[in-house]
């Protein structure tokens, strides 16, 4: 039973309206304004699937931040007939902590090869944010997996976003499934996907070209000077 729709997370329109949210077998996107509940839902899905709320693979169990919301207790994530062999929950804001955790674990080896080997062998702290994210995507993600990514674009140049899309495609072809919260009109362009927009009216499905991200970016790039002028004039 939900005790109050006034309290977080049930106060969020997207969470309140949540009933049945069919995930695309390949890629599902969560888009919408800041604060609309994308991370809250992604985290709840992750926790209910057995991932650490802080991020990482399923064997990570460290915690350095505030506790996660109770939403996972109210979710039932229906699993398909395929069993995911691999999995990862990436929280952009705590990837740094995951990198630290890997270094700490590798300081006290437990017999097997160092964990960092799964990420290409180079300390994630000694690479740029974008490089370490690409190492995660190309080295650590091994296919037949479920990958939950929260705003991965922060680290990535446009070229790298394209490279990330190509890598996502390769992993999808190898029976992987992605759920990605993003603001990037490039990253959200995977063709075989479902886009859910979180907003005041709950969660709505949209086509790629109908998203604000696509339309605003397109209008802006078609006429940056004109758009800037209008924007600045409005302020006067
Ligand atoms: N632990 C929490 N307690 C109370 N409010 C929270 C908590 N975590 C997030 N919120 C609020 O819930 C809203 C949705 O947050 P979030 O899911 O992070 O949004 P998004 O990822 O879509 O930007 C925000 O207004 C945020 O301030
Ligand atoms: Mg978020």
CATH code of the domain in which 56 resides: 3.40.50
| Tally of domains within the chain | 1
Q: Is the CB of 12 within 6 Å of ligand 1?
A: yes
pLDDT of residue 213: 96
69 lines ligand 1 (CB under 6 A): yes
**Nearest-CA residue for atom 3 of ligand 1:** 8
Given this model, what pLDDT does residue 4 score?
76
Question: What pLDDT sits at residue 101?
Answer: 84
- Residue 10, in any domain of the structure: no
94 lines ligand 1 (CB under 6 A): no
Q: Tell me if 182 is assigned to some domain.
A: yes
Ligand nearest to the CA of 38: 1
CA distance 194 to 191: 9
Ligand nearest to the CA of 32: 1
Residue ranges making up the domain that contains 92: 24-235
Cα 129 to Cα 127: distance, rounded to the nearest angstrom: 6
Whether 8 is in the pocket of ligand 1, judged by its Cβ within 6 Å, is yes
pLDDT attached to residue 230: 92
130 token code pair: 């974008």
Encoding tokens for residue 5?
């729709």
Neighbours of ion ligand 2 (CB under 5 A): 38-39
- Select from 106, 46, 52, 105 the least CA-distant residue to 77: 46
Q: Assess if residue 113 is contained within a domain.
A: yes
| Domain-embedded: residue 5 | no
Q: Is 220 in the pocket of ligand 1 (CB under 6 A)?
A: no
14 in a structural domain = no
The ligand minimizing its distance to the Cα of 35 is: 1
Instruction: Answer whether residue 29 is part of any domain.
Output: yes
Q: For ligand 1, is residue 36 a contact (CB within 6 Å)?
A: yes
Which residue's C-alpha comes closest to atom 4 of ligand 1? 8
Please report, in tens digits, the pLDDT of each residue of the chain (236 residues total).
666 778 888 889 988 888 889 999 999 999 999 999 999 999 999 998 888 888 888 877 777 665 678 898 888 888 776 678 899 999 877 777 888 888 888 888 777 888 899 888 888 888 888 888 899 999 999 999 999 999 999 889 999 999 999 999 999 999 999 999 999 999 999 999 999 999 999 999 999 999 999 999 999 999 999 999 999 986 66
Q: CA 226 to CA 236: how far, in whole Å?
A: 16
C-alpha to C-alpha distance for 191 and 74, rounded to whole angstroms:
31
Q: In what order do the strands lie in the sheet with 202-206?
A: 86-91, 145-150, 177-181, 27-32, 193-199, 202-206
Global pTM reads 0.90
For residue 150 the two structure tokens come to 């929260």
Q: Does 15 map to a domain?
A: no
Whether residue 214 lies inside any domain: the answer is: yes
């Amino acid at each position: 039973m939900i005790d109050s729709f006034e309290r977080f997370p049930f106060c969020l329109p997207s969470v309140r309206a949540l009933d049945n949210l069919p995930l695309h077998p390949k890629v599902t996107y969560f888009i919408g304004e800041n604060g609309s509940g994308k991370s809250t839902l992604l985290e709840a899905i992750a926790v209910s699937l057995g991932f650490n709320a802080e991020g990482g693979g399923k064997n990570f169990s460290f915690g350095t931040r505030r506790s996660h919301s109770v939403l996972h207790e109210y979710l039932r994530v229906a699993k398909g007939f395929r069993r995911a062999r691999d999995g990862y929950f990436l929280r952009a804001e705590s990837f740094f902590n995951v990198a630290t955790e890997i270094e700490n674990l590798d300081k006290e080896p437990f017999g097997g090869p160092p964990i960092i080997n799964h990420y290409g062998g180079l300390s994630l702290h000694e690479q740029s944010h974008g490089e370490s994210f690409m190492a995660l995507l190309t080295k650590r993600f091994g296919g037949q997996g479920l990958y939950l990514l929260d705003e991965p674009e922060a680290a990535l140049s446009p070229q790298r976003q394209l490279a990330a899309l190509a890598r996502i495609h390769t992993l999808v072809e190898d029976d992987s499934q992605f759920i990605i919260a993003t603001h990037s009109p490039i990253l959200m362009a995977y063709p075989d996907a479902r886009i859910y927009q979180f907003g005041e009216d709950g969660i709505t499905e949209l086509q790629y070209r109908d998203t604000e991200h696509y339309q605003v970016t397109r209008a802006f790039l078609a006429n940056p000077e004109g758009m800037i002028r209008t924007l600045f004039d409005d302020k006067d």
